[in-house]
């Protein structure tokens, strides 16, 4: 079930989808709000609407785990229905969804490492490696991760400071216990071993819960949880800037590739027209 929430200048009209992850993906066309955009909604509607005050929401983050390695988290633009269905099926029987190989993790970890080596500012990164255990983040503690998740809302003060809205509390990030990931206990929670454990959303807890972030969720099947997204056809929502500000590295590469293709097509058309003049 969807319900239109509010219109935020520069973001568009947001709607909330209530249901399991498959329902969220269907109703939001796979475009769950980023943690940054959901945080902005909380900032802009503070005192007016109950957005994020007492209820958490699913956000567009994917947490990947493999045995013996640091987890990696990525930001994405669109969650596939097929992945959502697999995760809901696994969670219904109290298991994490697991792939057959580490390829998914390897790809995303390489992306994180490449951005680290290139010196991409943390607030503009699309992927980052995490500690192996739960950690707290703020301006003073694990500040790089704080900037990665909150982006331009990570400042200390001002109307766009989520740190201030959260009453300057550090945000704790919860991860799958490394002993489970490494196969040392609770093997019944895993579909299989040797591949990638995939949690394709973050649970961004409410302000009442200090905005803590769960990257270890096994409740994609819960029918009364929610996700937010830009309502299709709401004007500003059609702009590529709507879904992630600033652009992620993946969006930049995608746009550059699109422009390169357009340039080639224009060049071919120009050559054809020039030939007609001769």
What are the tens digits of pLDDT across the range 148-200? Answer: 999 999 988 888 899 999 989 999 999 999 999 999 999 999 988 899 999 99
Q: Report in angstroms the alpha-carbon separations of 250 from 17, 40, 80, 108, 239.
A: 26, 22, 17, 11, 16
Residue 236: its pLDDT value, please? 39
Which residue, among 32, 10, 35, has the nearest Cα to 153 in the 3D structure? 35
* Residues in contact with 227: Cβ distance below 8 Å, sequence separation at least 6, in sequence order: 16, 17, 21, 24, 28, 32, 33, 57, 58, 59, 201
Residue 246 pLDDT > 60, yes or no? no
Q: Report in angstroms the alpha-carbon separations of 21 from 126, 220, 276.
A: 22, 5, 55
Residue 265 pLDDT > 90, yes or no? no
Q: What's the rounded Cα separation, in Å, for the pair 227 and 221?
A: 13
Torsion of CA 134, 139, 144, 146, to 10 degrees: 60
Three-state SS at 83: helix
| DSSP states of 239-254 | STTTTSSS--HHHHHH
Residue with tokens 């996700």: 227
pTM of the model: 0.81
Residue 64 pLDDT > 70, yes or no? yes
Identity of the highest mean pLDDT range in 1-5, 129-133, 193-197, 245-249: 129-133
What digits encode the pLDDT tens for the residues 206-245? 999 999 999 999 999 999 999 999 766 554 333 333 333 3
Instruction: Return the higher-pLDDT residue of 58 and 247.
Output: 58
Provide the CB-side half-sphere exposure for 117 (13 A, CA).
6
Task: Give the mean pLDDT of the chain.
Answer: 87
Three-state SS at 262: helix
* Residues in contact with 241: Cβ distance below 8 Å, sequence separation at least 6, in sequence order: 10, 247
């Amino acid at each position: 079930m969807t319900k239109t929430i509010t219109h935020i200048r520069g973001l568009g009209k947001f709607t909330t989808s209530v249901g399991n992850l498959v329902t969220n993906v269907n109703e939001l066309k796979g475009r769950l709000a980023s943690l940054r955009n959901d945080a902005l909604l909380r900032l802009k509607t503070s005192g007016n609407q109950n957005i994020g005050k007492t209820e958490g929401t699913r956000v567009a983050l994917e947490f990947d785990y493999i045995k013996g390695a640091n987890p990696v988290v990525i930001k994405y633009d669109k969650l596939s229905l097929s992945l959502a269905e697999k995760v809901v099926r696994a969670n219904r029987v109290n298991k994490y969804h697991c792939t057959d190989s580490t390829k998914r993790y390897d790809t995303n970890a390489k992306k994180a490492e490449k951005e680290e080596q290139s010196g991409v500012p943390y607030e503009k990164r699309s992927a980052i490696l995490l500690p192996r255990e739960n950690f707290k983040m703020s301006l003073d503690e694990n500040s790089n991760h704080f900037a990665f998740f909150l982006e331009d809302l990570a400042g200390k003060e001002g109307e766009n400071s989520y740190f201030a809205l959260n009453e300057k509390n550090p945000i704790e990030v919860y991860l799958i216990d490394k002993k489970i990931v490494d196969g040392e206990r609770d093997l019944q929670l895993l579909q299989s071993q040797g591949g990638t454990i995939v949690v394709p959303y973050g649970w961004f807890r409410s302000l009442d819960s200090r905005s803590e972030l769960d990257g270890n969720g096994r409740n994609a099947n819960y029918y009364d949880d929610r996700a937010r997204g830009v309502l299709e056809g709401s004007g500003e929502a059609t702009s590529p800037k709507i879904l992630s500000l600033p652009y992620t590295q993946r969006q930049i590469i995608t746009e550059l590739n699109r422009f390169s293709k357009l340039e080639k097509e224009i060049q071919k058309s120009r050559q054809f027209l020039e030939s007609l003049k001769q």
